[in-house]
Amino acid sequence: MSTDLSPPAARVAITAGRRLGKLQPLPEVPLFQPDSSIDFVRVTRDQVVAIVESINQPQISIPGKAAQAVQGHLCSLRNPNGSLSIYISLYLPQSAENVVYVHEPRELAIEEYRSAEVQGLHFLESMGFMLDNLRFRNLSPELQERSLERVPLFCPPQSRPKSAASAHAQSESTLARLLMSF
């Protein structure tokens, strides 16, 4: 069996022995785009479908920002019309700001959601994040509220923790959750 090394535009799709024609190259547009107009997202716990957070803080260089250790989150939300949206947030503790990436299209049908979520997880992992799914929907209402309070994407900029003590407390909380998962 040979491997076709021709460029995508030159490949020919063959299904059940029939020639379907030349495939058109897909545009090289990333599915997650940064949106500088979003610095946080106001949510209620009922809107949250999933929260996946980093258990490490890799050193990341974001264009226009100082390189620093960053916290990452993938958050899936249910919209009022029943569609789903996925946000990826990179929290920069030195400046107490979020860099928020949104999936295009922003509103996903349930059938599209799983694929988009996997792409978001790969996006975070490609930057060096090790991830933990909080299983948000399985938490008690009290733990859900506490989780929302500590995820920077859901906090207005003035209420985000800036001190090293609060970052240390969050790291201990994350470590405790990781160890309890075994």
d(CA 145, CA 47): 12
Evaluate if residue 30 carries a pLDDT over 70: no
Mind spelling out the 3-state secondary structure of 94-147? CCCEEEEEEECCCCECHHHHHHHHHHHHHHHHHCCCCEEECCHHHCCHHHHHHH
Sequence spans of domains, the chain:
30-180
SS3 (DSSP) at 63: coil
Q: Tell me the pLDDT band of 84, cut-offs 50, 70 and 90.
A: very high
pLDDT above 60 (res 161):
no
> Which of residues 181 and 93 earns the better pLDDT score?
93
Q: Is the pTM of this model over 0.75?
A: no
Q: What is the pLDDT of residue 23?
A: 53
Count of beta carbons in the 10 Å neighbourhood of residue 69: 13
Please check whether residue 131 is in contact with residue 55, taking contact to mean a CB–CB distance below 8 angstroms: yes
- pLDDT value at position 90? 97
Q: What is the pLDDT of residues 44-70, one digit of tens each?
A: 999 999 999 999 999 999 988 999 999
Place 5 in a pLDDT band, splitting at 50, 70 and 90. Answer: very low
| Per-residue pLDDT tens over the stretch 97-153 | 999 999 999 999 999 999 999 999 999 999 999 999 999 999 999 999 999 999 999
- Beta carbons within 10 angstroms of residue 166's beta carbon: 13
